[in-house]
């Protein structure tokens, strides 16, 4: 018998290890550049240690050459101008920062990245340009679980600021916003290669280590991803608080940054940068770099507020979304709005909404690393959800108050009055945007690739607003406390592993104990909408019958609130049969009952309430308004007896 149990243990051991795991490619960049600030060009060299962690033989590799997008008639240029021919909400649908600006760039204003030579293990490799993608045809395959060394020599010209990266931005006055500035290897994962052309959207990269050396004129000041390794030679607050930039005899200064376990690297430079530092106890150093304006002291105050707000809010963020694992984070003025990168963000101004949003991308992209092109809503939507919570905590007021304030200023606005009655207290802006898209006729499934939406309007609303609504509405389905547990477990299990939508849903199902595949299928894969209504009421044998009706095509569990003449309240939770479960009551102060499930194929449901009909004065479907019902006027019935 003991041999049987020994054999059983061995089998279990091998079965356990035979389960598929989400492997990650591994990369280490060593990059050095010397920037000529007169020509806005630089020469660079990369040494890339690339480990193929997959079981696949790689016969080619791909690199991103992002700045090749900033040339007349590039794919980015053509796509922007074509979208500009479409009108949505009374304006051209192009990105207002891009428009047709690329078409008019001069030879000195365009961006480019050119490969001078590319070797693997010392042997030159042949390559083919596909505009913003470089295809490298390997002379020898990269075998599974082996490491190779790439050596890349390249030249680049910094484009005039158009989108995210660039130089001489009149909006900020910042000289250089250096994002997507180096030849970057494309991601190879369980789905294969992702050589996504740079058309408009976000990025997907390999986690690894970066060792970056930048040479600039001595007067320039720099902030970026990673830790400054030569802080004692640079000074300027990097070594100790409030130290000046150290004088040097040479014309150029070297800045040496190192970042570990990250999937991109950004930096910005300007001679007039100011540098603020805050230290979170037992946490990271927070850096704020901004363009000093002698004639605007309020600008200094606003950027100091950014530093103070970040320091104040980090404990709240970590409690709800997980530990920030890196030793520092930098908020750097630059770019064209707000754009997130590992350990840093570029923001054009000191708006705290933008600050909170871009910082929360550290969780919902920089640490989780979802493929944003395929799952934009998991990146922008989850980030927007977190931003709303952080903002509400910071300001001490829910987002619905912004709409109420607007109504006070314009009390005769009937559309605003109606809209407010359909919005939840938190995440109100997301629901309002989603409702506008759902009723526009332009909505597309959230499974649409980010670059392939028919309109920017549909993409941005899907990614940001409908994605944010997904998370808040999940709290309606499984209960807000359970949803909060799901988010923390998602972070703990999937950080640094490139999760997809199914990975998140499996965490949600395990934590909640419910089946939730139907929710993803309807909300993410389709454009079907939610619409429930109160159909009729009658009394039988002293009990009240309430017939509910599903009008929209998306089924949901339903909460029904009942108020009687004596002022008492009760709630009835009606699970959806596809859930195979129900959420727990969320408010212990309200009498709550779990009813029999509603079969999704049935358009009606009859709820029995143990009260006389004439004692009921109010019936409401989803009084929390977290269910994104596109027509709420049939959700509420008030009775006068």
Alpha-carbon gap, residue 572 to 561, rounded angstroms = 6
Angle between helices 382-395 and 467-478 (to 10 degrees): 80
Pairing label, strands 285-291, 133-142: unpaired
**pLDDT on residue 10:** 41
Segment 62-66 shows an average pLDDT of 98
> pLDDT, tens digit, for every residue of 351-361?
999 999 999 99
Strand partners for 155: 43, 114
Alpha-carbon gap, residue 369 to 613, rounded angstroms = 54
Examine the pLDDT at 641 and tell me if it is beyond 90: no
pLDDT > 90 fraction of the chain, expressed in percent and rounded: 94
> pLDDT, tens digit, for every residue of 185-243?
999 999 999 999 999 998 899 999 999 999 999 999 999 999 999 999 999 999 999 99
**pLDDT on residue 21:** 73
**pLDDT on residue 244:** 96
> pLDDT, tens digit, for every residue of 498-554?
999 999 999 999 999 999 999 999 999 999 999 999 999 999 999 999 999 999 999
- Quickly state the pLDDT bin for 7 (edges 50, 70, 90): very low
- The domains of the chain are located at 21-188+196-201, 391-525, 532-638
Residues sharing a CB contact under 8 Å with residue 295, sequence separation 6 or more, in sequence order? none
Please write down the HEC assignment for all residues of 184-251: EECCEECCEECCCCCCCCCCCCCCEEEEEEEEEECCCEEEECCEECCHHHHECCCCCCCCCECCCCCC
- Which spans in 75-149 are helix H? 75-83
Alpha-carbon gap, residue 478 to 267, rounded angstroms = 42
Q: For residues 364 and 379, is the Cβ–Cβ distance under 8 A?
A: yes
Q: For residues 612 and 591, is the Cβ–Cβ distance under 8 A?
A: no
**pLDDT on residue 18:** 39
Alpha-carbon gap, residue 67 to 154, rounded angstroms = 12
How many CA atoms does the CB half-sphere of 185 hold within 13 Å? 28
Instruction: Give the CATH number of domain 21-188+196-201.
Output: 2.60.40
**pLDDT on residue 292:** 83
Average pLDDT over all residues of the chain: 95
Task: Give the CA distances from residue 66 to residues 179, 181, 201, 339, in Å, rounded to whole numbers and listed in that order.
Answer: 9, 7, 11, 15
> pLDDT, tens digit, for every residue of 167-186?
999 999 999 999 999 999 99
Q: Is the domain defined by 532-638 classed in CATH 2.60.40?
A: yes
Task: Give the CA distances from residue 426 to residues 357, 362, 380, in Å, rounded to whole numbers and listed in that order.
Answer: 15, 22, 17
**pLDDT on residue 294:** 66
Q: For residues 206 and 263, is the Cβ–Cβ distance under 8 A?
A: yes
Segment 425-432 shows an average pLDDT of 98
Examine the pLDDT at 41 and tell me if it is beyond 70: yes
**pLDDT on residue 5:** 43
Segment 88-101 shows an average pLDDT of 95
pLDDT > 70 fraction of the chain, expressed in percent and rounded: 97
Q: Do domains 21-188+196-201 and 532-638 have the same CATH topology?
A: yes
Please write down the HEC assignment for all residues of 158-201: CCECCECEEECCCCCCCCEEECCCCCEECCEECCEECCCCCCCC
With the C-alpha atoms ordered 388, 394, 400, 404, is the resulting torsion angle positive or negative?
A: negative
Whole-structure pTM value? 0.95
Pairing label, strands 338-341, 344-347: antiparallel
Segment 317-328 shows an average pLDDT of 97
- Quickly state the pLDDT bin for 305 (edges 50, 70, 90): very high
Task: Give the CA distances from residue 539 to residues 547, 567, 569, 611, 614, in Å, rounded to whole numbers and listed in that order.
Answer: 11, 20, 19, 9, 9
Q: For residues 425 and 449, is the Cβ–Cβ distance under 8 A?
A: no
- Quickly state the pLDDT bin for 88 (edges 50, 70, 90): very high
- Quickly state the pLDDT bin for 59 (edges 50, 70, 90): very high
Examine the pLDDT at 13 and tell me if it is beyond 60: no
Q: Residue 477 in 3-state DSSP?
A: helix
DSSP tag of 529: -
- Quickly state the pLDDT bin for 296 (edges 50, 70, 90): confident
């Amino acid at each position: 018998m003991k041999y049987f149990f020994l054999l059983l243990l061995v089998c279990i051991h091998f079965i356990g290890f035979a389960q598929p795991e989400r492997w990650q490619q591994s990369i280490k960049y060593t990059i050095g550049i010397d920037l000529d600030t007169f020509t806005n060009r630089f020469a660079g060299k990369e040494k890339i240690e690339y480990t193929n962690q997959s079981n696949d033989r790689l016969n080619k590799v791909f690199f991103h050459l992002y700045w090749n997008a900033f040339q007349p008639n590039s794919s980015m240029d053509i796509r922007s101008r074509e979208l500009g021919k479409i009108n949505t909400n009374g304006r051209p649908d192009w990105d207002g920062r891009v428009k047709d600006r690329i078409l008019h760039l001069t030879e000195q204003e365009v961006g480019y990245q050119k490969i001078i030579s590319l070797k693997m293990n010392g042997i030159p490799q042949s390559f083919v340009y596909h505009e913003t993608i470089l295809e490298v045809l390997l002379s020898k395959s990269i075998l599974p679980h082996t490491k190779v060394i790439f050596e890349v020599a390249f030249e680049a010209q910094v484009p005039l600021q158009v989108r995210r990266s660039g130089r001489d931005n009149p909006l900020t006055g910042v000289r250089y916003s250096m994002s997507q500035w180096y030849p970057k290897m494309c991601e190879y994962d369980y789905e294969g290669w992702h050589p996504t052309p740079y058309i408009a959207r976000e990025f997907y990269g390999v986690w690894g280590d970066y060792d970056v050396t930048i040479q600039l004129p001595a007067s320039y000041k720099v902030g970026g991803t990673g830790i400054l390794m030569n802080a004692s030679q640079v000074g300027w607050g990097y070594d100790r608080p409030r130290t000046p930039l150290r004088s040097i005899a040479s014309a150029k200064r070297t800045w040496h940054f190192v970042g570990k376990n990250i999937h991109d690297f950004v930096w910005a430079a300007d001679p007039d940068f100011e540098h603020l530092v805050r230290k979170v106890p037992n946490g990271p150093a927070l850096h704020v770099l901004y363009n000093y304006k002698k004639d605007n002291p309020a600008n200094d105050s606003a950027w100091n507020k950014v530093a103070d707000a970040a320091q104040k809010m980090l404990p709240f963020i970590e409690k709800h979304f997980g530990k920030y694992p890196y030793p520092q984070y930098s908020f750097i003025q630059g770019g064209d709005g707000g754009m997130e990168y590992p350990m840093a963000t570029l923001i054009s101004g000191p708006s705290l909404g933008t600050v909170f949003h871009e910082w929360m991308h550290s969780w919902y992209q920089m640490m989780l690393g979802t493929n944003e092109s395929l799952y934009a809503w998991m990146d922008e939507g989850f980030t927007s959800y977190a931003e709303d919570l952080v903002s509400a905590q910071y300001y001490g007021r829910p987002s619905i108050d912004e709409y109420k304030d607007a109504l006070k200023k314009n009390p005769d606005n009937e559309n605003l009055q109606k809209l407010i009655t359909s919005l939840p207290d938190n995440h109100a802006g997301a629901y309002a945007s989603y409702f506008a898209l759902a009723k526009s006729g332009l909505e597309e499934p959230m499974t649409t690739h980010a670059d392939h939406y028919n309109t920017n309007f549909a993409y941005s609303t899907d990614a940001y607003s409908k994605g944010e609504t997904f998370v808040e509405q999940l709290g309606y389905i499984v209960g807000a406390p359970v949803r909060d547990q799901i988010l923390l477990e998602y972070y703990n299990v999937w950080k640094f592993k490139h999760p997809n939508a199914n990975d998140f849903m499996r965490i949600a199902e395990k934590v909640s104990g419910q089946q939730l595949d139907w929710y993803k299928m309807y909300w993410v894969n389709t454009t079907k909408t939610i619409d429930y209504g109160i159909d009729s009421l009658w009394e039988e044998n002293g009990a009240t019958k309430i017939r509910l009706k599903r009008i929209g095509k998306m089924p949901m569990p339903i909460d029904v609130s009942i108020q009687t003449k004596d002022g008492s309240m009760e709630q009835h939770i009606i699970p959806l049969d596809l859930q195979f479960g129900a959420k727990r009551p969320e408010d212990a102060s309200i009498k709550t009952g779990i009813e029999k499930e509603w079969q999704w194929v049935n358009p009606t449901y009859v709820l029995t309430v143990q009260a006389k009909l004439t004692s009921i004065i109010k019936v409401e479907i989803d009084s929390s308004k977290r269910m994104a019902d596109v027509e709420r006027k049939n959700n509420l019935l008030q009775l006068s007896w």
